[in-house]
Amino acid sequence: MQIWNWMNRIAEEENESRRRKKEEEKQARRQKVIESTREKRGLAEALRFHRITGAELDQVTRRQAIDDGWELARPKRWRKGKFSSERKRLYDILDSDESIEHVVGGLLKANLTGKGRMVPHDAVAIATNKRVIFFDEGLTGSAEVLHLPYRNIEAVSHKTGLTVSELQVTGRGGSGFKLEGIDDRDSLRNFSDGVRSRSERGAVASAAPVPSSLDDLERLASLLERGYLTQEEFDAKKAQLLGL
């Protein structure tokens, strides 16, 4: 009986030893797979990084910044992909130091059938820190683009009511647009107020008096007479002012 118990104990110990060994081998294989996966991912990331040039990396970063600006400015009730083609066209339109401030979309009525019938179609306006950009999709879906720098905007107005929600931007030379059926009135007011404020500041800057070259020349002559400038320095500054 004792011998039998002793043999059973030895068998159990051997089974436990084999079980632990299998578990250790399993853990070792699992760790090896994890390390191999990490190495492959790291190599893939390194290869991906080295394939991208500095200019391409800047372009990717710039596009991400435009996408982020669009998401912050667009009306929140819009579905995510609305006006996505116009958003992507901004990649090639916006300057490197240009950012999106306001976005508003609505309907533009135009005589596109040639039969005097006014057909509404989607259009979107984007206000940046430099200008207003207007995309007119038309019935064909190929958007036309209108650029209005703030200094060229003469009037901005909007109307809201039970059945009315519209925006009108008028530029010099008869340029401009009118959007109706705007579905987000907060975005409409923010767009109108923001564009009006920037256009007024642009008008003030354009109307600011430009220093007279004659006044500058008189000051330079006074400095020359008083000995603060040499004749050579005076002649150089004079040529610079006169564009010689």
Residue 208 pLDDT > 50:
no
**Helix, coil or strand: residue 80:** coil
Q: pLDDT band for position 209 (50/70/90)?
A: very low
Quick check: 204 pLDDT over 60?
no
Query: Which residues, in sequence order, are CB contacts of 235 under 8 Å at separation 6+?
Result: none
Q: Does 130 share its domain with 25?
A: no
pLDDT band at 166 (very low <50, low <70, confident <90, very high): very high
Q: What is the pLDDT of residues 39-87, one digit of tens each?
A: 555 545 554 554 555 566 577 788 888 988 898 888 888 887 888 888 9
Are residue 107 and residue 185 in the same domain, yes or no?
yes
Cα dihedral 164, 169, 174, 178 sign? negative
Number of domains in the chain: 3
Residue 47's pLDDT is what? 47
**How large is the average pLDDT for residues 26-39?**
63
Q: Which of 89-103, 112-126, 152-166 has the lowest mean pLDDT?
A: 112-126
Structural domain of 21? 1-51
Is the separation of the CB atoms in 143 and 89 below 8 Å?
yes
Alpha-carbon distance values, 154 to 134, 163, 175 (Å): 16, 27, 10
Whether residue 86 is found in the same domain as residue 193: yes
Of residues 85, 77, 76, 189, the one with CA closest to residue 143: 85
pLDDT of residue 20: 82
pLDDT of residue 212: 54
Instruction: Note the pLDDT of residue 4.
Output: 59
For residue 169, the cross-strand partners are 156, 177
The reply to whether 203 and 220 lie within a common domain is: no
Which pLDDT score is estimated for 143?
Answer: 63
Residue 217 pLDDT exceeds 80:
no
Q: How far apart are CA 76 and CA 68, in angstroms?
A: 13
Same domain membership, residue 219 and residue 198? no
Note the pTM of the prediction, 2 decimals.
0.60
Q: Residue 132 domain-assigned?
A: yes
Q: What is the CATH number of the domain that holds 78?
A: 2.30.29.30
